[in-house]
Structure 1
Amino acid sequence: MTQEIEIEFKNLLEKEEYHRLLQNISFPSQGKLQINHYFETEEFSLKEQGCAIRIREKHGKYTLTLKEPHPDGLLETHDSLTEQEALSWINGTIIPKSNTSKQLLEKNIQPEKLIYCGSLSTLRRELSYKDVLLVLDYSTYNNKEDFELEIEANTKASGLQMFNQLLEEHNIIQRITPNKIERFFHSLEN
């Protein structure tokens, strides 16, 4: 089964802070576009269990990912999709895939009950930096935009150290930062 534990630290940024980081850190000059397509049940069964499911469209490839709580971060379970399968999901015909369906069924969620809720587009810049991955995101969704710094690390300790160091060095206030899917669904409520 294709699974991984994601250890990441996130901070929403003001537009000015985002541009300051772009100027002061050697991020790539051009970002890469990725689109997240989000799904949920009518009863919000995923949210109730602290989970989320999405299709990420990136470089012409489609990956279905279920995110679940894990003591060290998030447990991600992946399935590859063809473009046709991804379009079927988006258009309301859910084609269960082995890895994610197994995990959903363990949570008593029927894959066929998932409904498409919308998408979030991100222009992402990534940089390997001192044993972590620095990620700078500009996202748009439901007539909103936001800016975010993410640090992906192999351990909580190394990620937290780099996160705190970067915020301090660049005079950025630490903010409570819901993940993208939470921000997306919150934007639907407003």
Structure 2
Amino acid sequence: MTQQLEIEFKNMLTKEEFSRLCTTFNLTDENFHSQTNHYFDTKDFALKNLKSGLRIREVQDRFECTLKEPAIGIGLTETTDLLSKKEVQSILSGNSVLHAHEVEGRLQALAIDPHDLKILGTLQTKRAEIKYEGGLLVFDHSQYAGTDDYELEYEVLNEETGKVIFDRFLALHSIPRRPADKKIARFMSVVKKKRGL
């Protein structure tokens, strides 16, 4: 189990801006890896109402269960447990609840019963990462519910410095500021629209 503070800046990109940045930073298909996020919440969206999110992420042979909660002050607190492939398959098929002890502990602290969790759906992302001025630039192309979106993230340790660098980066590459919701929020928005909610 790990727990860490996440400070990141996000901006939505057009397909053309994404392609242009990939060309500028010499990113090819070989630089991208695929990851799959399975999102969970209760029937009445208890996690969403707490501005929190729960996912199981598959990256190659690594399986992580992560709960994101608002941190005191800035950023998000992430609690992560590693799972086995067999555990993930069992959870996704509905045969068992989480086998993530630290995450379950945090859920109970939030008064959420792990047995009440349901899978909301799955989002596929192709991701490339590069180090940039003391932080990490993340290029994401995500596909979910018949939708493609493109996003730039900048992960940092210092919010104030990170914001200056990120704003300067966007200006340097003539990219307008377009705030980006969390992936789970974008996913839910599209799913609700498709369901006419």
Superposition TM-score tier, normalisation by shorter sequence:
over 0.9
Structure-to-structure mapping, 1:1-190, within 5 angstroms? 1-27=1-27, 29-30=29-30, 31-70=32-71, 71-92=73-94, 93-190=96-193
Aligned partners of 1:2 and 1:79 also within 8 Å: yes
Aligned partners of 2:34 and 2:59 also within 8 Å: yes
Structure 2: gaps spanning 5 or more residues? none
Give the secondary-structure state (helix, strand or coil) at the position aligned to 2:44: coil
Letter in 2 for 1:189: K
For the residues of structure 2 that align with 1:76 and 1:26, how far apart are their CA atoms? 31
Letter in 2 for 1:67: K
- Give, in angstroms, the shift of residue 2 of structure 1: 1.5
Aligned partners of 1:28 and 1:125 also within 8 Å: no
TM-score by length of 1: 0.96
Cα shift readout 1:72-120 (whole Å, capped 9, x = no counterpart):
2000000000001111111122134211011000110011111111110
For the residues of structure 1 that align with 2:35 and 2:100, how far apart are their CA atoms? 21
TM-score by length of 2: 0.93
- Give, in angstroms, the shift of residue 162 of structure 1: 1.7
For the residues of structure 1 that align with 2:168 and 2:179, how far apart are their CA atoms? 17
Could you tell which deviates more after superposition, 94-103 or 63-72?
A: 94-103
- Give, in angstroms, the shift of residue 25 of structure 1: 2.1
Structure 1: gaps spanning 5 or more residues? none
For the residues of structure 1 that align with 2:98 and 2:175, how far apart are their CA atoms? 43
Letter in 2 for 1:23: T
For the residues of structure 1 that align with 2:29 and 2:134, how far apart are their CA atoms? 21
Query: How large is the RMSD of aligned CA atoms in angstroms?
Result: 1.1
For the residues of structure 2 that align with 1:95 and 1:134, how far apart are their CA atoms? 31
Could you tell which deviates more after superposition, 77-86 or 23-32?
A: 23-32
Aligned pair count reads: 190
- Give, in angstroms, the shift of residue 178 of structure 1: 0.5
- Give, in angstroms, the shift of residue 28 of structure 1: 5.4
For the residues of structure 2 that align with 1:65 and 1:95, how far apart are their CA atoms? 11
Cα shift readout 1:129-159 (whole Å, capped 9, x = no counterpart):
1111001010000000000000000110222
